[in-house]
Structure 1
Amino acid sequence: MKRNSRLSLALHSLGHMAGDPERTRTSADIAAHAGTNPVVVKRVLGRLRAAGLLIAERGHAGGWRLARPPHEITLADVYLALDERLAPAAEEAAPRCAVEHALEQRMASLMDEAESALISRLRTLTIAAAREPVE
């Protein structure tokens, strides 16, 4: 699964859960709604559980539900729980020349700045607010 599709799946799932926070949803239900495999759902939502965003309940009536109210879960919480970066990290190969090395360092610095700005902005949006239409 592509990196961005994990984030999309997580945000989509949490967005629906925010509409009825007490309802428990199975991986199969989430997968059917998202058009993916339940194993993929379990992997992605397992990361959110590990970050304290979801509760996993076992058993016949088990499934997933929000661990906190939707207005307390930011998009940054979700993004960071998945431990991904939208801007890929620079490769660690030895540069062939000083110019290449300088350019790679500059680009890495810019990507870090962009990533920090993205996370700062994501901290201002909650799952509850993200469900509202954009004006």
Structure 2
Amino acid sequence: MKKDSKLSSILHVLLHMAHYNRPLTSEALAGFLSTNPVVVRRTLAGLRDAGYVDSTKGHGGGWVLVCDLQQITLRQIYEAVGAPPVFAMGNRMDEPRCLVERAVNHRLENTFQEVEALLLQRLDAITLADLAADFSHGYQAHCSGEHGHEH
């Protein structure tokens, strides 16, 4: 089963936007992800609605961050991109008659809820500024060698 990489992709794009600190076109952002600019525009539209990014048209236009990276958590971004399901697993039947399957469903559902709550708690503890600092540290260490930042 294919993994949902929407959160990872949008965080990638947001860090590039923070790094360049100037408007970036959908085409440029799509190049960072090896995807179509329409996918970038569609995804960033949700972040624009949440007030994290904005866009301008015309020469010199593009997408820009309009939020304080220290105030925005990964959970907020996760929710802005539609809170994709954490698990691909689920119960075989929602309302089974079989007592065995009911017991299985009960335990699995509780476990899934606990794990999802833990993930959301962890996402709440990480800001975009934390990710930007991680990137800056890695970028400086990498660029002090012979190679630049590559995709």
Paired residue for 2:34? 35
- Alpha-carbon distance in 1 for matches of 2:57, 2:103: 52
User: Structure 1, residues 31-59: CA drift from partner, whole Å, max 9, x if none?
Assistant: 01211111111111112112221112233
Counterpart Cα distance in 2 of 1:41 and 1:132:
24
User: Paired residue for 1:79?
Assistant: 78
TM-score between the two structures when normalised by the length of structure 2: 0.76
- 1:131 matched to 2:125? The reply is no
1:114, CA displacement in angstroms?
1.1
User: Aligned to 1:65, what secondary structure does the other structure show?
Assistant: strand
The C-alpha deviation readout for 1:77-116, integer Å capped at 9, x for no partner, is 1111122122247456442512112211221221111111
Provide the alpha-carbon RMSD of the alignment.
2.3
Aligned to 1:72, the other structure's residue is in SS state coil
Q: Which protein is bigger by CA-based radius of gyration?
A: 2
**Which residue identity does 1:28 align to in structure 2?**
E
Q: Which residue of 2 aligns with 1:7?
A: 7
CA displacement, residues 2-60 of structure 1 (integer Å, 9 cap, x when unaligned): 55321121010111122244x11111000012111111111111121122211122333
The answer as to whether partners of 1:9 and 1:34 remain within 8 angstroms in 2 is: yes
| 1:70 alignment partner in structure 2 | 69
**Structure 1 unmatched ranges of 5 or more:** none
Count, aligned residues: 133
Instruction: Report % sequence identity.
Output: 39
Shift of 1:128: 1.4
Structure 2 residues not aligned, in runs of 5+: 138-151
SS at match of 1:4: coil
Bigger RCO (CA 8 Å, 6+ sep): 1
